[in-house]
A and B are shown apart, each in its own frame.
Chain A
Amino acid sequence: MNTNAKSKTTDLIKEVLPCVSIVFTLLLQLMIPDSASHPQADAHYFTYVLWISLVVWALIFILSFFRQNVRKKLIYKGYFIAGAILFLNIVNLLTVKSALLPVLYFPSLDRIFGVLITDRQLILKCLLYSIRLLSVGFLSGAVIGIISGIAIGFSKTVSYWLMPVVRVLGPIPSTAWIPLVLVCFPSAVSASTFLIAVAVWFPTTIMTSSGISNVQNSYFEVSRTLGAGKLAQIFEVGVPAAMPHMFLGLFNGTCSSFITLVTAEMIGAKYGIGWYVNWQKELLAYANVYAGLIVIAVVFSILITLLFKVRDKVLLWQKGVIKW
């Protein structure tokens, strides 16, 4: 009974803590005057962000009394959210409130959030450019990677000729191709697409082929005694059995495609989120740089989450077999 009551109190603390953290930050933000050495933001955007978070969190808190699953999530995430807000609070104190960090490189949160609002049109445009580049590059790299991986996994001849090429060319960071690619491709867009495709292609190929060669031979044998021909063995047995490896390759590919995207955009692109960050850095507009980085972080983590969702759908059968 006692421990039960105790855990109930901790649960409640976990639920309320984010709100407390937000209110605390808000109080400091409102009460401590900004340091004079920081350039003024055109509005107190961080204050707005805090107010909005407070309202949102309060609403979730209320909702948690009616929805058990919301409550569970809230309790689970409570410490983390409170901690994250505390981190912003400290950043805010170190920058605009005290100017303890170099003012040029560490702009105020007001200004960073401000950029997201005032510069949203350019950022959105850049984002769309990047996503277009990324999706074309990723899809072509993934498709070619899966095809070449399957071919290497199943055909000795293909493996004989292609595997050494993959081994030698694959580990070269795709950005190292930039000088060559710039000469070979007519435009920066096609060059960047190619680089991203290469970045995805390599891990996908390697993981797909190794996945297929790791499939238990008895699966192929069973399928043969059930009347499976060569094609059925490849697509009904080899490919589904290698699917977990394939996703690992795709996941690695996604990560390196992000790196490649951002780097590739720094070479002669006209738009793109990587280009935006680089350009703003040259202008010494660090508030814009951080805003760009925040956008990159948010969008990329959404993409990764999407990939995980797809994987969970496709690999439903794996639940309880292998833990990721």
Chain B
Amino acid sequence: MVGELSIKGVTKRFRREGEEDVIALNGVNLNIKAGSFVSLIGPSGCGKSTLLRLIAGLSDADEGELQLDGKKIVGTSYERGLVFQNPTLFPWLNIQDNVAFGLKVRHIHRQNKSLVKEYIKLVGLEGFEKSYPHQLSGGMCQRASLARSLVGKPKVLLLDEPLGALDAFTRMNMQDELLRIWKEENMTMIMVTHDVDEAIYLSDKVIVMSPRPAKIEQVIDIEMGRPRARSNPDFLQYRSKILKILNFGGNVEDISYYI
């Protein structure tokens, strides 16, 4: 199995004109097993996107090292796909060409034409192959960009709030689809989310981050069999635990009371 990530003492600072540096990540240590599903959760501005960008190779750490399968991460590669927080579909390509983009630039498009169709279908955009991004809704664009990253079968797929713009129902559907793809393709998935339930439902591990200084607060192993039921009592337990870490502890007693 491939797709094991190890992050050792990674610090990332952003320099700002005339102001103090922002420390976006402060000595982060993390090991992510190959083929696992991990969620990053934490308040806005705590460095989640920054961490994903480092793993993707879009920016470099100031200190420390990131490794994929024992090899140091330098620069970008299709092995580490990233679904951006706001869907950056190419406006000059229709949905089909957007999804096929990665295969095209890697010159493996010909042998994989059916794959493009398959993934467009999978994200529920059949019939919109020839539409341009501006003709689709925000949620449809998000699904299209998900398909675009999935189709290249990366070893590690980094997801920055990929389901943020979806309604609750589509969202749950997409969660199941993500799980299905994750199992089928054996890829490591790291997903940023603001939804505690989503994190618990999907992940092997939930990583809770805290801001200022931005670091990893706690890593919670979700030891529940799959498929998971959202009504499972364990589910609620995990939820109160995470909320407590995120300093919403006040409600925790109430929740257990109601159970």
Contacts and interface: CB of A to CB of B under 8 A. Distances in A.
Q: Is the interface of B mostly helix, strand, loop or mixed?
A: loop
Interface in B52-87: 56-58, 75-78, 80-82, 84, 86
A225 B86 CA distance: 15
A223 B91 contact: no
A222 B132 contact: no
Contacts of A224: 57-58, 75-76
A226 B58 contact: no
Contacts of B77: 225, 227
B149 interface: yes
Contacts of B80: 225
B105 A225 contact: no
B113 to A, nearest CB: 17
A271 to B, nearest CB: 42
Contacts of B134: 317, 320-321
A321 B90 CA distance: 12
Interface in B146-160: 148-149, 152
B76 A236 contact: no
Contacts of A221: 58, 76, 82, 84, 88
A223 B82 contact: no
A225 B77 CA distance: 6
A187 B104 CA distance: 48
B129 to A, nearest CB: 14
Contacts of A237: 90
Contact of A240 (B57, B84, B92): B92
Contacts of A222: 82, 84, 88, 90, 145
A236 B104 contact: yes
B106 interface: yes
A184 to B, nearest CB: 41
Contact of B82 (A225, A229, A236): A225
Contact of A317 (B84, B132, B148): B132
Contacts of B101: 223, 226, 228, 236
A232 B104 CA distance: 9
A216 interface: yes
A317 B76 contact: no
B135 interface: yes
Contacts of B135: 320
A185 interface: no
A227 B78 contact: yes
Contacts of A307: none
A317 B92 contact: yes
B132 A225 contact: no
Interface string A281-324: 00000000000000000000000000000000000111011000
Interface in A223-257: 223-229, 232, 236-237, 240-241, 243
A105 interface: no
B103 to A, nearest CB: 9
A225 B81 contact: yes
A321 to B, nearest CB: 5
A240 B93 CA distance: 9
A229 B105 contact: yes
Contacts of A228: 101-102, 105
A226 B76 CA distance: 9
Contacts of B92: 240-241, 243, 317-318
Contacts of A232: 105
Nearest to B82: A225
Contacts of B106: 227
Contacts of B88: 216, 218-219, 221-222
A218 B49 CA distance: 13
A320 B136 CA distance: 12
Contacts of B78: 225-227
Contact of B56 (A223, A225, A229): A225
Contacts of B58: 221, 224-225
- Looking at B57, B78, B90, B149, the one whose CB has the most chain A CB atoms below 10 A away is B90
A224 B105 CA distance: 10
A321 B149 CA distance: 24
B136 to A, nearest CB: 12
Interface in B214-231: none
A222 B154 CA distance: 14
Contact of A227 (B93, B94, B105, B145): B105
Nearest to B102: A226
Contact of B76 (A225, A316, A320): A225
A240 B56 CA distance: 24
Interface of B: 56-58, 75-78, 80-82, 84, 86, 88, 90-94, 101-102, 104-106, 132, 134-135, 145, 148-149, 152
Task: List the 8 closest A-B pairs by CB distance, nearest first.
Answer: A227-B78, A226-B102, A224-B76, A232-B105, A228-B105, A225-B82, A240-B92, A218-B88
11 contacts: A216-B88, A219-B88, A222-B90, A222-B145, A223-B105, A225-B57, A225-B58, A226-B78, A227-B152, A236-B101, A318-B92
